[in-house]
Structure 1
Amino acid sequence: MTTFYLIRHGEPDWKINEVYKLKGHGRDLVPLTPLGIQQVYKTSTDVRLKNAQLIISSPYTRALQTAAILSKQLTLEIKVEFDLREWQPDLSFQYDSLEQLKELGTDYDLNNGVYPAGESRLWESKSMMKERIGGVIDKYMDYEFVIISGHGMAFRTQYEIEEIPHAFIIEYKRE
Protein backbone atom coordinates (compact mmCIF):
# COMPACT_ATOMS: atom_id res chain seq x y z
CA MET A 1 0.00 0.00 0.00
CA THR A 2 1.21 3.51 -0.83
CA THR A 3 0.43 6.58 1.23
CA PHE A 4 0.22 9.78 -0.79
CA TYR A 5 0.33 13.13 0.95
CA LEU A 6 -1.71 15.34 -1.34
CA ILE A 7 -0.66 18.90 -0.57
CA ARG A 8 -2.51 21.75 -2.19
CA HIS A 9 -0.21 24.62 -3.11
CA GLY A 10 0.06 27.69 -0.89
CA GLU A 11 -1.98 30.82 -1.56
CA PRO A 12 -1.27 32.08 -5.11
CA ASP A 13 -0.93 35.69 -6.25
CA TRP A 14 -3.84 35.78 -8.72
CA LYS A 15 -3.71 39.54 -9.22
CA ILE A 16 -0.71 39.08 -11.54
CA ASN A 17 -3.10 37.63 -14.15
CA GLU A 18 -5.03 40.86 -14.39
CA VAL A 19 -1.92 43.06 -14.39
CA TYR A 20 -0.32 41.16 -17.28
CA LYS A 21 -3.55 40.16 -19.08
CA LEU A 22 -2.43 36.54 -19.17
CA LYS A 23 -4.31 34.04 -21.32
CA GLY A 24 -4.90 30.28 -21.17
CA HIS A 25 -2.11 28.38 -19.43
CA GLY A 26 -0.24 31.65 -18.99
CA ARG A 27 -2.69 32.29 -16.16
CA ASP A 28 -1.12 29.38 -14.27
CA LEU A 29 2.29 31.05 -14.02
CA VAL A 30 1.49 32.99 -10.85
CA PRO A 31 3.78 32.49 -7.83
CA LEU A 32 2.78 32.19 -4.19
CA THR A 33 2.02 35.22 -2.05
CA PRO A 34 4.17 35.83 1.05
CA LEU A 35 1.35 34.24 3.07
CA GLY A 36 1.35 31.25 0.69
CA ILE A 37 5.08 30.78 1.28
CA GLN A 38 4.55 30.87 5.06
CA GLN A 39 1.73 28.33 4.74
CA VAL A 40 4.01 25.86 2.97
CA TYR A 41 6.87 26.31 5.44
CA LYS A 42 4.43 25.52 8.25
CA THR A 43 3.13 22.45 6.39
CA SER A 44 6.70 21.21 5.87
CA THR A 45 7.02 20.67 9.63
CA ASP A 46 4.16 18.12 9.72
CA VAL A 47 5.63 14.90 11.16
CA ARG A 48 3.83 12.71 8.60
CA LEU A 49 6.03 14.13 5.83
CA LYS A 50 9.24 12.86 7.46
CA ASN A 51 8.58 9.40 5.98
CA ALA A 52 8.23 10.67 2.41
CA GLN A 53 10.61 9.32 -0.21
CA LEU A 54 9.84 11.64 -3.09
CA ILE A 55 7.88 14.73 -4.12
CA ILE A 56 5.96 14.80 -7.38
CA SER A 57 4.57 18.10 -8.57
CA SER A 58 2.27 19.74 -11.03
CA PRO A 59 4.18 21.85 -13.57
CA TYR A 60 2.33 25.03 -12.57
CA THR A 61 4.36 27.67 -10.76
CA ARG A 62 2.33 27.71 -7.55
CA ALA A 63 2.68 23.92 -7.14
CA LEU A 64 6.36 23.90 -8.16
CA GLN A 65 7.15 26.67 -5.67
CA THR A 66 5.31 24.66 -3.01
CA ALA A 67 7.30 21.53 -3.97
CA ALA A 68 10.57 23.49 -3.91
CA ILE A 69 9.96 24.68 -0.35
CA LEU A 70 9.03 21.15 0.74
CA SER A 71 12.08 19.74 -1.05
CA LYS A 72 14.39 22.21 0.66
CA GLN A 73 12.93 21.53 4.10
CA LEU A 74 12.70 17.73 3.72
CA THR A 75 15.73 17.18 1.43
CA LEU A 76 13.70 15.24 -1.14
CA GLU A 77 13.93 15.01 -4.91
CA ILE A 78 11.16 16.59 -7.01
CA LYS A 79 9.75 14.98 -10.13
CA VAL A 80 7.51 17.12 -12.32
CA GLU A 81 4.48 15.39 -13.78
CA PHE A 82 2.67 17.34 -16.51
CA ASP A 83 -0.57 15.40 -15.93
CA LEU A 84 -0.78 16.69 -12.34
CA ARG A 85 -1.82 20.08 -13.71
CA GLU A 86 -5.01 21.66 -12.45
CA TRP A 87 -8.43 21.40 -14.05
CA GLN A 88 -8.45 22.84 -17.55
CA PRO A 89 -11.33 25.32 -17.73
CA ASP A 90 -10.88 25.80 -21.47
CA LEU A 91 -9.48 22.96 -23.55
CA SER A 92 -8.88 25.44 -26.39
CA PHE A 93 -6.54 27.41 -24.07
CA GLN A 94 -8.11 30.73 -25.08
CA TYR A 95 -9.81 32.04 -21.92
CA ASP A 96 -8.30 35.30 -20.82
CA SER A 97 -10.23 36.82 -17.95
CA LEU A 98 -11.22 36.09 -14.41
CA GLU A 99 -14.83 36.64 -15.47
CA GLN A 100 -14.62 33.95 -18.15
CA LEU A 101 -12.88 31.58 -15.74
CA LYS A 102 -15.70 32.10 -13.23
CA GLU A 103 -18.31 31.42 -15.95
CA LEU A 104 -16.59 28.19 -16.97
CA GLY A 105 -16.20 27.16 -13.33
CA THR A 106 -19.85 27.90 -12.60
CA ASP A 107 -20.92 25.81 -15.61
CA TYR A 108 -18.66 22.97 -14.41
CA ASP A 109 -20.18 23.17 -10.91
CA LEU A 110 -23.78 23.36 -12.21
CA ASN A 111 -23.15 20.18 -14.19
CA ASN A 112 -21.13 18.54 -11.40
CA GLY A 113 -18.20 18.15 -13.80
CA VAL A 114 -20.21 16.01 -16.24
CA TYR A 115 -21.09 17.07 -19.78
CA PRO A 116 -24.87 17.12 -20.30
CA ALA A 117 -26.10 14.26 -22.50
CA GLY A 118 -25.35 14.92 -26.15
CA GLU A 119 -23.40 18.12 -25.39
CA SER A 120 -19.78 19.08 -25.08
CA ARG A 121 -18.16 21.91 -23.13
CA LEU A 122 -14.95 23.91 -23.25
CA TRP A 123 -13.92 22.61 -19.84
CA GLU A 124 -12.26 19.35 -18.85
CA SER A 125 -14.78 16.94 -17.31
CA LYS A 126 -14.37 15.43 -13.87
CA SER A 127 -13.88 11.95 -15.36
CA MET A 128 -11.16 13.20 -17.72
CA MET A 129 -9.34 14.83 -14.81
CA LYS A 130 -9.79 11.79 -12.53
CA GLU A 131 -8.26 9.50 -15.15
CA ARG A 132 -5.35 11.89 -15.80
CA ILE A 133 -4.48 12.32 -12.11
CA GLY A 134 -5.04 8.62 -11.33
CA GLY A 135 -2.64 7.68 -14.12
CA VAL A 136 0.13 9.69 -12.48
CA ILE A 137 -0.57 8.23 -9.06
CA ASP A 138 -0.40 4.71 -10.52
CA LYS A 139 3.19 5.34 -11.64
CA TYR A 140 4.33 5.78 -8.02
CA MET A 141 2.72 2.76 -6.38
CA ASP A 142 6.15 1.16 -5.77
CA TYR A 143 6.91 3.77 -3.10
CA GLU A 144 5.61 3.69 0.47
CA PHE A 145 5.23 7.45 1.03
CA VAL A 146 4.96 10.10 -1.68
CA ILE A 147 4.20 13.81 -1.47
CA ILE A 148 2.15 15.25 -4.31
CA SER A 149 2.21 19.03 -4.70
CA GLY A 150 -0.81 20.05 -6.69
CA HIS A 151 -4.26 21.54 -6.91
CA GLY A 152 -7.58 21.41 -5.12
CA MET A 153 -9.87 20.44 -7.99
CA ALA A 154 -7.43 17.80 -9.20
CA PHE A 155 -7.15 16.26 -5.73
CA ARG A 156 -10.92 16.26 -5.28
CA THR A 157 -11.18 13.81 -8.19
CA GLN A 158 -9.26 11.26 -6.10
CA TYR A 159 -10.44 12.10 -2.59
CA GLU A 160 -13.98 13.14 -1.70
CA ILE A 161 -13.72 16.49 0.07
CA GLU A 162 -15.68 19.70 -0.46
CA GLU A 163 -12.88 22.28 -0.14
CA ILE A 164 -9.14 22.02 0.41
CA PRO A 165 -7.38 24.92 2.17
CA HIS A 166 -4.03 26.15 0.85
CA ALA A 167 -1.03 24.06 1.96
CA PHE A 168 -3.37 21.47 3.50
CA ILE A 169 -2.35 17.79 3.64
CA ILE A 170 -4.71 14.99 2.66
CA GLU A 171 -3.44 11.55 3.59
CA TYR A 172 -4.55 9.29 0.73
CA LYS A 173 -3.83 5.55 0.80
CA ARG A 174 -3.99 3.39 -2.29
CA GLU A 175 -3.37 -0.32 -2.90
Structure 2
Amino acid sequence: MKLLVARHGQTEWNYENRVCGISNIELTDKGLEQARLLASKVKDYHIDIILSSPLSRALKTAGIISDEINRDIIVEDRLIEQNYGSYEGLLRTGEGFRYAKKQFPNKLGGGESILQVVQRVYNLLDEIIAEYADKNVMIISHGSVCRVINSYFNECSNQKYDDYYTKNGELVEYFI
Protein backbone atom coordinates (compact mmCIF):
# COMPACT_ATOMS: atom_id res chain seq x y z
CA MET A 1 0.00 0.00 0.00
CA LYS A 2 1.10 3.50 -0.80
CA LEU A 3 -0.35 6.49 1.03
CA LEU A 4 0.03 9.80 -0.78
CA VAL A 5 -0.55 12.84 1.41
CA ALA A 6 -0.83 16.36 0.06
CA ARG A 7 -1.61 19.73 1.51
CA HIS A 8 -4.13 21.89 -0.34
CA GLY A 9 -3.03 24.80 -2.53
CA GLN A 10 -2.37 28.28 -1.18
CA THR A 11 -5.14 30.45 0.28
CA GLU A 12 -5.10 34.19 0.93
CA TRP A 13 -4.57 33.50 4.63
CA ASN A 14 -1.64 31.20 3.85
CA TYR A 15 -0.14 34.02 1.80
CA GLU A 16 -0.70 36.46 4.69
CA ASN A 17 0.69 33.92 7.23
CA ARG A 18 -2.61 33.77 9.12
CA VAL A 19 -4.01 30.83 11.08
CA CYS A 20 -6.55 29.14 8.78
CA GLY A 21 -7.91 26.30 10.89
CA ILE A 22 -11.53 25.45 10.17
CA SER A 23 -12.24 28.80 8.50
CA ASN A 24 -13.40 28.06 4.96
CA ILE A 25 -10.89 30.10 2.96
CA GLU A 26 -10.73 29.70 -0.84
CA LEU A 27 -7.66 29.01 -2.96
CA THR A 28 -5.76 31.88 -4.55
CA ASP A 29 -4.77 31.80 -8.23
CA LYS A 30 -1.40 30.47 -7.06
CA GLY A 31 -3.23 27.82 -5.01
CA LEU A 32 -5.18 26.71 -8.08
CA GLU A 33 -1.92 26.48 -10.02
CA GLN A 34 -0.34 24.43 -7.21
CA ALA A 35 -3.33 22.06 -7.35
CA ARG A 36 -2.94 21.70 -11.13
CA LEU A 37 0.79 20.99 -10.73
CA LEU A 38 0.02 18.40 -8.07
CA ALA A 39 -2.56 16.77 -10.35
CA SER A 40 -0.03 16.66 -13.16
CA LYS A 41 2.54 15.12 -10.83
CA VAL A 42 0.26 12.28 -9.65
CA LYS A 43 -1.48 11.49 -12.95
CA ASP A 44 0.87 8.56 -13.62
CA TYR A 45 0.54 7.15 -10.10
CA HIS A 46 -1.96 4.38 -9.68
CA ILE A 47 -4.30 6.04 -7.18
CA ASP A 48 -7.34 4.01 -6.25
CA ILE A 49 -8.98 6.31 -3.72
CA ILE A 50 -8.94 10.05 -2.97
CA LEU A 51 -9.92 11.15 0.53
CA SER A 52 -10.37 14.85 1.21
CA SER A 53 -11.09 17.21 4.06
CA PRO A 54 -14.53 18.83 3.70
CA LEU A 55 -13.08 22.37 3.68
CA SER A 56 -13.30 24.09 0.29
CA ARG A 57 -9.56 24.66 -0.11
CA ALA A 58 -8.90 20.92 0.19
CA LEU A 59 -11.96 19.90 -1.83
CA LYS A 60 -11.01 22.23 -4.69
CA THR A 61 -7.48 20.79 -4.70
CA ALA A 62 -8.89 17.24 -4.61
CA GLY A 63 -11.36 18.10 -7.39
CA ILE A 64 -8.59 19.21 -9.72
CA ILE A 65 -6.72 15.96 -9.02
CA SER A 66 -9.92 13.92 -9.38
CA ASP A 67 -10.56 15.44 -12.81
CA GLU A 68 -7.01 14.59 -13.90
CA ILE A 69 -7.01 10.95 -12.75
CA ASN A 70 -10.72 10.16 -13.06
CA ARG A 71 -11.31 9.08 -9.46
CA ASP A 72 -14.17 10.05 -7.18
CA ILE A 73 -13.52 11.96 -3.98
CA ILE A 74 -14.57 10.60 -0.60
CA VAL A 75 -15.11 13.48 1.82
CA GLU A 76 -13.72 12.49 5.20
CA ASP A 77 -14.60 14.82 8.08
CA ARG A 78 -11.69 13.59 10.21
CA LEU A 79 -9.28 15.19 7.73
CA ILE A 80 -10.52 18.69 8.57
CA GLU A 81 -7.90 21.13 9.85
CA GLN A 82 -7.43 21.71 13.56
CA ASN A 83 -9.96 24.09 15.09
CA TYR A 84 -7.82 26.94 16.39
CA GLY A 85 -10.70 28.70 18.14
CA SER A 86 -10.01 32.38 18.84
CA TYR A 87 -6.67 32.16 16.99
CA GLU A 88 -8.39 31.72 13.60
CA GLY A 89 -7.40 34.55 11.27
CA LEU A 90 -4.60 35.86 13.50
CA LEU A 91 -0.97 36.01 12.39
CA ARG A 92 0.85 32.71 12.94
CA THR A 93 3.87 34.60 14.28
CA GLY A 94 2.03 35.99 17.30
CA GLU A 95 3.61 35.00 20.63
CA GLY A 96 0.28 33.86 22.09
CA PHE A 97 -0.39 31.46 19.21
CA ARG A 98 3.17 30.10 19.05
CA TYR A 99 3.08 29.34 22.79
CA ALA A 100 -0.47 27.93 22.80
CA LYS A 101 0.12 25.48 19.95
CA LYS A 102 3.01 23.87 21.87
CA GLN A 103 0.70 23.00 24.77
CA PHE A 104 -0.42 19.69 23.29
CA PRO A 105 -3.22 18.81 25.75
CA ASN A 106 -4.79 22.29 25.75
CA LYS A 107 -7.61 23.35 23.47
CA LEU A 108 -6.39 26.31 21.44
CA GLY A 109 -8.52 29.37 22.11
CA GLY A 110 -11.59 27.25 22.79
CA GLY A 111 -10.96 25.11 19.73
CA GLU A 112 -9.25 21.74 19.56
CA SER A 113 -6.11 20.38 21.20
CA ILE A 114 -3.38 18.74 19.17
CA LEU A 115 -4.10 15.53 21.07
CA GLN A 116 -7.70 15.60 19.82
CA VAL A 117 -6.46 16.01 16.24
CA VAL A 118 -3.98 13.16 16.74
CA GLN A 119 -6.73 10.88 18.06
CA ARG A 120 -9.09 11.41 15.12
CA VAL A 121 -6.35 11.23 12.46
CA TYR A 122 -4.58 8.19 13.96
CA ASN A 123 -7.93 6.38 14.19
CA LEU A 124 -8.61 7.22 10.55
CA LEU A 125 -5.16 6.03 9.46
CA ASP A 126 -5.69 2.74 11.31
CA GLU A 127 -8.97 2.30 9.39
CA ILE A 128 -7.44 3.26 6.02
CA ILE A 129 -4.59 0.77 6.47
CA ALA A 130 -7.00 -2.02 7.48
CA GLU A 131 -9.63 -1.31 4.82
CA TYR A 132 -7.45 -0.37 1.85
CA ALA A 133 -4.37 -2.56 2.41
CA ASP A 134 -4.24 -3.50 -1.29
CA LYS A 135 -4.94 0.04 -2.60
CA ASN A 136 -3.08 3.28 -3.15
CA VAL A 137 -4.79 6.08 -1.26
CA MET A 138 -4.37 9.82 -1.66
CA ILE A 139 -5.26 12.21 1.14
CA ILE A 140 -5.80 15.93 0.56
CA SER A 141 -5.76 17.83 3.80
CA HIS A 142 -4.13 20.61 5.82
CA GLY A 143 -0.86 21.55 7.51
CA SER A 144 -1.67 20.27 10.99
CA VAL A 145 -3.19 17.04 9.68
CA CYS A 146 -0.12 16.46 7.46
CA ARG A 147 2.04 16.97 10.57
CA VAL A 148 -0.01 14.40 12.49
CA ILE A 149 0.18 11.91 9.61
CA ASN A 150 3.95 12.32 9.52
CA SER A 151 4.11 11.61 13.27
CA TYR A 152 2.07 8.43 12.76
CA PHE A 153 4.79 7.02 10.49
CA ASN A 154 7.90 8.68 11.96
CA GLU A 155 9.01 8.93 15.58
CA CYS A 156 9.74 12.51 16.56
CA SER A 157 10.31 14.71 19.56
CA ASN A 158 7.85 17.48 20.40
CA GLN A 159 10.25 19.97 18.81
CA LYS A 160 10.66 17.89 15.65
CA TYR A 161 6.87 17.51 15.51
CA ASP A 162 6.40 21.27 15.84
CA ASP A 163 9.08 21.98 13.20
CA TYR A 164 7.58 19.61 10.59
CA TYR A 165 6.01 21.59 7.76
CA THR A 166 4.27 20.62 4.54
CA LYS A 167 4.13 23.36 1.91
CA ASN A 168 0.97 24.18 0.00
CA GLY A 169 0.61 21.69 -2.85
CA GLU A 170 3.40 19.48 -1.50
CA LEU A 171 3.14 15.69 -1.83
CA VAL A 172 4.58 13.19 0.68
CA GLU A 173 4.60 9.43 0.10
CA TYR A 174 4.38 6.73 2.75
CA PHE A 175 4.88 3.06 1.93
CA ILE A 176 3.02 0.64 4.16
TM-score normalised to the size of structure 1?
0.76
User: Within 5 Å, which residues of 2 pair with 1:58-77?
Assistant: 58-77=53-72
Please say which structure displays the higher CA radius of gyration: 1
Structure-2 separation of matches of 1:49 and 1:146: 14
CA positional deviation for 1:48: 7.4
Identity %: 26
Q: What is the aligned partner in structure 2 of residue 87 from structure 1?
A: 82
CA positional deviation for 1:104: 5.7
Structure-2 separation of matches of 1:173 and 1:86: 23
Structure-2 separation of matches of 1:120 and 1:85: 16
Distance 1:62 1:114, change over 3 A: same
Residue-pair matches, total: 157
Distance 1:59 1:103, change over 3 A: farther
CA positional deviation for 1:154: 1.0
Structure-2 separation of matches of 1:53 and 1:79: 11
Distance 1:154 1:108, change over 3 A: farther
Q: Which runs of 4+ in 1 moved over 4 A?
A: 94-97, 99-104
User: Within 5 Å, which residues of 2 pair with 1:7-156?
Assistant: 7-14=6-13, 25=22, 28-47=23-42, 50-90=45-85, 97-98=89-90, 102=94, 105-109=97-101, 111=102, 113-115=103-105, 122-141=110-129, 142-143=131-132, 144-156=135-147
List gaps (5 residues or longer) in structure 1.
16-23
Q: Is the 8 A contact 1:89 1:104 kept in 2?
A: no
Q: What is the aligned partner in structure 2 of residue 20 from structure 1?
A: none
CA positional deviation for 1:139: 2.7
Tell me how large the CA RMSD over aligned residues is: 2.9
Distance 1:140 1:49, change over 3 A: farther
Q: Deviations over 1:18-53 (max 9, x none)?
A: xxxxxx84xx22111111111111111225762110
TM-score normalised to the size of structure 2?
0.75
Q: What is the aligned partner in structure 1 of residue 173 from structure 2?
A: 171
Structure-2 separation of matches of 1:32 and 1:99: 18
Q: Deviations over 1:38-77 (max 9, x none)?
A: 1111111225762110110001110000000000011111
The worse-fitting range, judged by mean Cα deviation, of 76-85 and 123-132 is: 123-132
Q: Deviations over 1:114-147 (max 9, x none)?
A: 23xxx76534222211111122223322322111
The worse-fitting range, judged by mean Cα deviation, of 164-173 and 65-74 is: 164-173
Distance 1:88 1:102, change over 3 A: farther
Structure-2 separation of matches of 1:49 and 1:133: 27
Q: What is the aligned partner in structure 2 of residue 5 from structure 1?
A: 4
